[in-house]
Amino acid sequence: MPSKAKPVAKSQAKSNTKPKVKAKPASPAAAKTAKPKPKPVPKAPEMLAFRVATSGARLDRFIGEHLENASRTRVQKWIEEGKVQVNGNAVRKSHVLEEGEQVTVELPREEDASHLEGEDIPLDIVYEDEYLAVVNKPKGLVTHPGHGVPGGTLANALVHYFGNLSDFGGSDRPGIVHRLDRDTSGLLVVARDNATHAALSKQLADRDIHRTYQAICWREIDPEGTFDLPLGRSINDPTRRSVRPDGKTAVTHFRTLDWFQFASHVEVTLDTGRTHQIRVHFSHAGFPIAGDTLYGGGEQMLKRTGPLFQGPAAGLLKRLSSQALHAVKLEFRHPVTGKKVAFKSPLPEEFKKALAHLKPFKRERDPEE
């Protein structure tokens, strides 16, 4: 069982400005009995090494697959600068790897300051140390700036609170190891330096970071199952994702916690972290997330609900401002201490009210169904 890390800093919708605390001088008696200072924790490695298991992959693609947050452009720049080597030698980005070769990546140093402007936005910090932090993102907050969203994001809030953060994923995404959609709430891990970021990114690519969600989906879904369907950008709408044979591998597991007459309460875990993955997979299977208007989980589902339950189904939508999806648990191995850590986030009030509304319609399901 992974051990829970003790939170050291937390705020509930408060300013994220750090308070100044004056240290009291130790008394002579206390000085005599003071315990020796613990040995400093070693820094995360400044170099990552990978052993090639299968021949045939281009070097730049290999690195991109093994470092989840490193963009292809960024990887190619590292290769050109000689920060990526194969068997100790600098090679071209198009180099085709052979089984048994060793690939090393010299991690770039983070800049002294982020290019992103800090903003005093409330943060709920579940845990922090000098290497990383875990935050509880509220619904409605964009993770980092992007097209049409120049500021007012979680990344802006993190820069204001922490100052320097990892720029491993790009200067516009300081510290961001993985993201949540704007209207998905819950836990995220943040890296404070590039070495920590790279190590967490590798865990993410190796599926060693475990992310657990809870969701409310329409209709009664199976007791458990897996969606193994590749995802890519929609041809008709660039803001959407869709199941595509030429898309990237995407694997979603679920188990049902409760069934209701017209909906299900499910727990979801991910092997991969593609954009909108949970939402697209459930929608494609015919069980869109309740309140998710982008993927068919809004009022259009009322027409697919039996006449007897259309009123209660409409009541469910009234209680949801957007998709009923929350990241409830996050587990990983601390890249510096090597210890397994786990963090939990309670369901938001909106989600709990939706479940309370559904409670009268709960039903037991026959295992034979």
Q: What is the pLDDT of residue 85?
A: 87
CA distance 43 to 215: 38
List pLDDT tens digits, range 328-338. 999 999 999 99
CATH 3.30.2350.10 domain residues, the chain: 1-14+109-205, 211-327+350-363
CA distance 132 to 116: 19
Phi-psi region of 353 (alpha: psi -120 to 50; beta: other; left: phi over 0): alpha
Higher pLDDT among residues 187 and 172, named by residue:
187
List pLDDT tens digits, range 200-231. 988 988 889 999 999 999 999 999 999 999 99
Question: Is residue 291 pLDDT above 50, yes or no?
Answer: yes
Distances (CA, A) of 270 to 7, 159, 256: 25, 28, 15
Question: One of 60, 124, 181, 193 is an active-site residue; which one?
Answer: 181
CATH 3.10.290.10 domain residues, the chain: 47-106
Confidence at 27, pLDDT banded by 50, 70, 90: very low
Confidence at 69, pLDDT banded by 50, 70, 90: low
CA distance 97 to 124: 44
Task: Residue 369: count other Cβ atoms within 10 Å of its Cβ.
Answer: 8
Print burial letters for 201-240: b (CB count within 10 Å at least 16), e (below 16): bbbbbeeebbbbbbbbbbbbbeeeeebebbbbeeeeeeeb
Catalytic (active site) residue 258: no
Q: Which fold has domain 47-106?
A: 3.10.290
Print burial letters for 259-277: b (CB count within 10 Å at least 16), e (below 16): bbbbbbbbbbbbebbbbbb
Q: What is the pLDDT of residue 109?
A: 63
List pLDDT tens digits, range 130-146. 999 999 999 999 998 87
pTM, entire model: 0.75
Q: Which CATH number fits domain 211-327+350-363: 3.40.50.720, 3.50.50.60, 3.30.2350.10, 3.40.50.1400?
A: 3.30.2350.10
Helix axes 349-358, 310-318, angle to 10 degrees: 170
Q: What is the pLDDT of residue 333?
A: 96
Question: Is residue 47 pLDDT above 90, yes or no?
Answer: no
Architecture of domain 1-14+109-205: 2-Layer Sandwich (3.30)
Nearest in space to 351 (alpha carbons), one of 219, 144, 240, 213: 213
